[in-house]
Amino acid sequence: MRISPLVYLAVPAASQQIWDIWQTTWDRGKLFTSLAPSSPINFVTPGPIGSADIVINDGTTFQSIAGFGGSLTDSSALVLSNLKARNSGNYWNLLTEMFGATDGANVAGLNYIRVPIGASDFSANLYSLDDTSGDTSFSKFNINKIPSYVFSILKDIQSTNNLIKVHLVPWSPPGWMKDSGTMNGGSLQSQYVGSYATYLLKAVQGFQSQGFPVYAISIQNEPQNSNPTYPTCTMSADVEGQIGTALRTLLNGNSLSSVKIVGYEHNWDNAGSYPVQLMNSYGNAFAGAAFHCYAGSVGNQDQFHNAFPSKEIYFTECSGTFGSDWWSDIKWYIDNLWVGSLEHNSRSGLMWNIALDGGGNPKLPGTNSCGGPGCRPLVTVNSDGSFSFNQEFYSMAQASKAIIPKDVGGPFGQRIGVSVGGSLSWALRVGAYVTGRASSSDWLRYSIVVLNWDDSASTTWNPQPVKTTIEFRGMQATYTFPVGVTTLWWFAPATSSAAGSFREDFNNSTRVITVRTHSNTNTTTVKLP
């Protein structure tokens, strides 16, 4: 009887294990810190539930996540460029911790970069990419009107994370196209609708020529906002739709069909009107709509989603304010943005400026934007060459860590079903995600981002850890979440019926058995006599 040279034997499924935990606590005792437990937390046969009970439903899947990040304004790029000149070591440490995506490293993996087309309220001066009046042939168009340090910093970010997604957004058309005659305030004149679409095409081509593939472009930042102290432009849904339709045709005709056009780019409060009107009349041109946090509530995103469930949603801008409470901010960000916005179908989570100085500067001279104490960036860069990450970064990093690719060439995470039960269900705010693998034989990563906000902040201030059970495919793990934000994950096969396997090779009378278990993605090879 001849023995086959390769035999596979099924073995019982091993328990999933949690080895990876990242945490930021309310008292700043841990700041996006890897806990690196010495022994794993095992999923075992279920027992009584904890005070809170997180139930993962990986059979229910939602949108894939494009990523987290912020806007590389001229000011952000200038501040970072100055840091690079002053303290190169700190500069690269900052970029690595923010944008690095190495699996298991102390990095946040931020990857979604929004870049203004021309001046914004965070620029040194007013400029567009073609300030020659009447130049509808765009012979004077020049992508290098954007300060060189913007491209330099973007290249450094790209070298740190080659998975960056660049989303271009104009704050205003060139002044000569507007009824105000300036980039500050006013509206686009109707005769320039087609010309402006060409201008936006050339902006995309300009970034591509600089080595930055463009993921998406918006037609107008905050089209319902007109402010005479910085670049703004009111634009009706009809005009935005006409520009988007013309731009879609131009992009498709110039081998740029993969570039998404994203509409609206304004506050939650009008989610059921402006972007819905835009999709009703011009939906073929637009991938979806983007939202900001400055009016309305995150639940308003559902008004758009319910009207157009197949259209994509992006959350692209919010800003902290200097002087606000650190822990209160983190609770709000997780609840409304990094878990909340994704829970309401967003594919991205972005703040406003990536970097500024300690006063929220530099800003466009004369602007009243970000008045009062000033807008706080993800990272504050100081004149002495030091820097400090803010609450915006720490809360975002916890969420980004859950969805960045596990493998080189692998996908970003996808939101899955999750619910919270138990007597303290109200104490936890939870998002759950699955991340696919580059190889179909490798097990998927299942991640949860958990905010414990049981702090009695409105009364006596009494932060309480919450003993929690985590239910996954009929098994149960237990973990006590401190007051703060915790991100943890485990690995499991794509289906609950998948088992581990033995692979047995017969080679010159020596049996070699390769064992793969569900507790990790590695194999163990054992030689038997």
SS (HEC) of 473-528: CCEEEEEEECCEEEEEEEEECCCCCCCEEEEEEEECCEEEEEEECCCCCCEEEEEE
Question: What is d(CA 483, CA 204) in angstroms, rounded to the nearest whole number?
Answer: 44
Q: How far apart are CA 352 and CA 377, in angstroms?
A: 7
**pLDDT above 90 for 398:** yes
- Average pLDDT of the segment spanning 59-69: 98
| All residues at 6 or more sequence positions from 330 whose CB lies less than 8 Å from its CB, including other chains | 24, 26, 391, 394, 395, 451, 485
State phi, psi for 515 to the nearest 5 degrees.
-115, 130
Coil, strand, or helix at residue 340? Answer: helix
Distance CA(279)–CA(262), nearest Å, equals: 11
Place of tokens 């013309």: 246
Distance CA 317, CA 135 (A): 32
Q: Read off the pLDDT band of 496 (50, 70, 90).
A: low
Is the model's pLDDT at 307 over the cut of 90? Answer: yes
Share of the chain above pLDDT 90, in %: 89
- Of 14-18, 166-170, 489-493, 508-512, the range with the lowest mean pLDDT is 508-512
Integer Cα distance of 359 and 382 in angstroms = 10
Is the model's pLDDT at 500 over the cut of 80? no
In angstroms, the CA 9 to CA 494 distance is: 19
Neighbouring CB atoms inside 10 A of 504's CB total 17
Residues 143, 129 contacting (CB under 8 angstroms): yes
Taking all residues of the chain, what is their mean pLDDT, rounded to a whole number? 92
Q: CA 371 to CA 363: how far, in whole Å? A: 10
Q: Give the per-residue pLDDT at 457.
A: 85
520 has a pLDDT exceeding 60: no
Q: What average pLDDT does this structure show over 476-488?
A: 98
Query: What's the pLDDT score for residue 14?
Result: 53
- The identity of residue 120, as a single letter, is S
Residue 235 has pLDDT above 90, yes or no: yes
Minimal CA–CA distance to 119: which of 164, 191, 184? 184
In this prediction, residue 248 has a pLDDT band, given cuts at 50, 70 and 90, of very high
Give kind and range of the element (H or E) at residue 268.
none
User: Which position has the higher pLDDT, 432 or 11?
Assistant: 432
Give the residue-averaged pLDDT of 280-288. 98
Structural domains in the chain, sorted by start = 17-64+410-510 (2.60.40.1180), 68-81+115-402 (3.20.20.80)
Alpha helices by DSSP H, 11-71:
none
Q: Tens digit of pLDDT for each residue in 426-450?
A: 999 999 999 999 999 999 999 999 9
